[in-house]
Structure 1
Amino acid sequence: MRLLLVEDDQMLGESMVASLSRHGYTVDWVQQGMGVELLVKTESFTAMILDLTLPDTDGIEVLKKVRQAKLSLPVMILTARDDIEDRVEGLDGGADDYMVKPFALEELLARLRVMIRRISGFTDTNIELHGVTVSLSSQQVEVNGDALKLTPKEFKLLSTLMTNAGRVMSKDQLQQTLHGWDDVASDNAIEVHIHNLRKKMGGNLIKNIRGVGYIIER
């Protein structure tokens, strides 16, 4: 799953990218608010973490532009602004959650999981479809109750398809989810990962819509 981090603090941004990456997220990081609306319109992100105090614009204005564009992207505000007025403005402006710095990584991860499950239409701790259970917290997968060992990228790919169940994901969207801006992947990387997932899981869970992409049906 791919996150967009909008944070101008260099040390905090580097720390968050490293920490979130260790917990299975692909993180793309920008340090300014200008251009964020275009990014979320043209690229595929699972959620956005947004600071309010940015060098070029106020984070609330960034949030308003995203919502005015009718984008349903989950947004978590992560800021040092702790006044109740700021919290209310952020939530009323379209944020899905609001956290104040300093923060505990474990709480941030838990809140991200809640947002992702909510936008995906799942309410349980685990995501379960067609006998496949994915735990976003432990990054464990079971098929009909049996534990399944996946590589980190296989888990990212499966969890992305599961949280977007019922929606066709293009090859480009899946490439972005796995690699973001920094990593370079071969042209057939997605096909290789899909092949390996099907081999390990069996059945026909991941369907190929020829010329369009891949889907796990609800």
Structure 2
Amino acid sequence: MEASTRILIVEDDLKIAALLKDYLIAAGYLVAHEVNGRVALEQIRKNLPDLILLDLMLPELDGISICQEVRKFSQVPIIILTAKVDEIDRLLGLETGADDYVCKPFSPREVVARTKVHLRRSSGKPLSTELPRFFIDREQLRILVDAHPLSLTPVEFRLLSEFIMHPERVFSRQQLLDFAHEDQRDINDRTVDSHIKNIRKKIQARLPGNECLHSVYGVGYRFELPL
């Protein structure tokens, strides 16, 4: 199925576009690339792709405008690629009709993983939130590693779910505190570190030799897909 799935990258940074194209082709997709926003919109109208990876800052027509126009005639999945990290920019992108966003710099593997999720959703197939070797079962609030459930607390489940959904993304301790806030209102940085330590042990018990959760000095933590 992937061999006939068409993805359009609309990105004026040629290095980023080439990198994404290589990863997506390796994943089995047909990939096209446009630099100019206005030309890209014309191409989308003529030959609607199965998914669009859309930069915000583009020549002639910006990504938000493209997204608005596309939503007038199609619900094709749109993932915004942006270097703008302000919350208002994120909300603006999603309110305009985008399905998701990825902040630069990003991991190409994360983009491929999100692409797969959105393509499965748009195809109407049952959607399980999954990445290689991991499965998030939100109905039973559990995470399986190679089909084996991890014994996680509610806070650990929430934290690990966010990591799995955003591989390679660096989360600050404050962001992790916010994820855990619902269950524990008196937590602090040390409590977060303790949860991360416990999650690491539980993953390594199932995947010996795989260091999935990495400390990022002075910032927080990053999740890396296991081999």
Instruction: Tell me the SS of whatever aligns to 2:8.
Output: strand
Identity of aligned residues (%): 37
Residues 1:66 and 2:65 aligned together: no
Q: CA deviation at 1:136?
A: 10
Q: CA deviation at 1:38?
A: 2.4
Task: Find the aligned partners of 2:40 and 2:70 in 1 and give their Cα distance.
Answer: 8
Contact 1:110–1:137 at 8 Å: present in 2 too?
no
* TM-score, normalization by structure 1: 0.55
Instruction: Pick from 43, 51, 64 the counterpart of residue 39 of structure 1.
Output: 43
**1:22 maps to what in 2?**
26
Aligned CA-pair RMSD: 2.2
Q: CA deviation at 1:44?
A: 3.8
Instruction: Pick from 114, 119, 123 the counterpart of residue 117 of structure 2.
Output: 114
Contact 1:3–1:27 at 8 Å: present in 2 too?
yes
Contact 1:5–1:49 at 8 Å: present in 2 too?
yes
Q: Give the letter for the 1:29 counterpart.
A: H
Larger Rg: 1 or 2? Answer: 2
Q: Give the letter for the 1:26 counterpart.
A: L
Task: Find the aligned partners of 2:88 and 2:131 in 1 and give their Cα distance.
Answer: 33
Q: CA deviation at 1:82?
A: 0.8
* TM-score, normalization by structure 2: 0.53
Q: Give the letter for the 1:14 counterpart.
A: A
Contact 2:23–2:112 at 8 Å: present in 1 too?
no
Q: CA deviation at 1:137?
A: 6.8
Task: Find the aligned partners of 2:108 and 2:100 in 1 and give their Cα distance.
Answer: 15
Unpaired runs of 5+ in structure 1? 127-134, 139-218
Task: Find the aligned partners of 1:76 and 1:6 in 2 and give their Cα distance.
Answer: 10
Task: Find the aligned partners of 2:120 and 2:111 in 1 and give their Cα distance.
Answer: 14
Q: Give the letter for the 1:77 counterpart.
A: I
Task: Find the aligned partners of 1:43 and 1:75 in 2 and give their Cα distance.
Answer: 15
**1:54 maps to what in 2?**
58
Q: Give the letter for the 1:52 counterpart.
A: L
Asked which structure has the greater RCO (Cα within 8 Å, sep 6+), the reply is 1
Aligned pair count?
Answer: 129
Contact 1:3–1:47 at 8 Å: present in 2 too?
yes
